[in-house]
Structure 1
Amino acid sequence: MRLMIVVEDVPQFADSPAERPLKALFQAINRSEQFLIGDADITQVTSGFGLIGDFKAGRKGIVLKPDSFDGEAVFKVPFPKVKRAEFPEGRGIFVQAGRAVTVQMPLAEASVLTVASPAAG
C-alpha cells in the first residue's frame, strides 16, 4: 500500500515544535515509495538545510507560474527561459529525474471545492 502525504504551507513549520517530526517524516518518505505533496511559496524554499532541505530532497515537483531561476533554486534543474505571460493559472513546469516539462493542471470550479455539510435532521 502506498500513501500520499499532503502538507500545506511547509515553510510555516520551520522553527516550530512540528519541525523535527516533519523532518523525520520527509526523510522517511524520501527513502520510500510513498508520495509527498507540499505547498510552499517559491521564495521560502530556496534553502537547502533543515526542514526545507528535506522537503526538497526528492527533487521532483511542479512550479506554477515559474521564473527561469526557480528550477535551479528548488530542484537543481535549469528551466528554459520562460515568459510569465505564457503561464496562465494552472500552468507550470513539472520536474522529475532531472527533466523539466511544461504541464497544465486541471482547474476545479469553486462550487466543486465546497464541502457539503450533512442536512440537519
Structure 2
Amino acid sequence: MPEHPGLVVVERAADAEGTAALPQLIALAKAARRSGTLVLFELETGSAGGIWELFSALRQPRWGLTLQPDDAEAQTPFREDLGRVRRADFPPGRGFAIEAGRVTPIHVALP
C-alpha cells in the first residue's frame, strides 16, 4: 500500500441513510480519494443499496479489504472477481486484500 497523507475511518456508514450526514459523507469520500487519503468505510454490501451515492463514490478503489465476503451479494466496490465464496467459509477476520487487480487471501488479527 502506498503512503497516504492521512486516514479517514467511518463505521456504520449505512446509518447515515436518509439523514443530513449522507451528503457530507459522500463529499468527504470524494475529497479524500482526490487527495490520495486512505478511506475506510465499514458497511455491509447488502446495505449499500440504501446509500448508493456513497457506495458509488467508493467504487473502484486502488486498494481495499473485504472481510467475510459472500458471492450472493451482487454489490461490491471491487471489479475483481473473488470467485465462488461463501461467508460461512470465512470466520471473523478472514477475507481478501485487493491491490492493483491482485486478490490475496488474508487474516486480520482480532483484539
Pick the TM interval, shorter chain: 0.7 to 0.9
Q: Judge conservation of contact 1:9–1:40 (CA < 8 Å) in 2.
A: yes
Letter in 1 for 2:110: L
Q: Which has the higher contact order (CA 8 A, sep 6+)?
A: 2
Residues 16-71 of structure 1: CA deviation (Å, up to 9, x unaligned)? 1012221111111111221111110121125794122113342542221212355x
Alignment correspondent of 2:75:
73
Deviation for aligned residue 1:14: 2.8
Runs of 4+ residues deviating >3 angstroms? 46-49, 83-86
Larger radius of gyration: 1
The match for 2:40 among 34, 37, 40 is 37
What is the count of residue pairs matched by the alignment? 107
Q: Judge conservation of contact 2:7–2:37 (CA < 8 Å) in 1.
A: yes
What TM-score do you get using the length of structure 2 for normalisation?
0.78
Could you tell which deviates more after superposition, 11-20 or 49-58? Answer: 49-58
Alignment correspondent of 1:18:
21
What TM-score do you get using the length of structure 1 for normalisation?
0.72
* Distance change >3 Å, CA 69–CA 52, structure 1 → 2: same
The match for 1:50 among 43, 47, 53 is 53
Q: Structure 1 unaligned runs (5+)?
A: 109-121
Letter in 2 for 1:61: G
Q: Find the aligned partners of 2:50 and 2:100 in 1 and give their Cα distance.
A: 20
User: Helix, strand or coil: the match of 1:44?
Assistant: helix
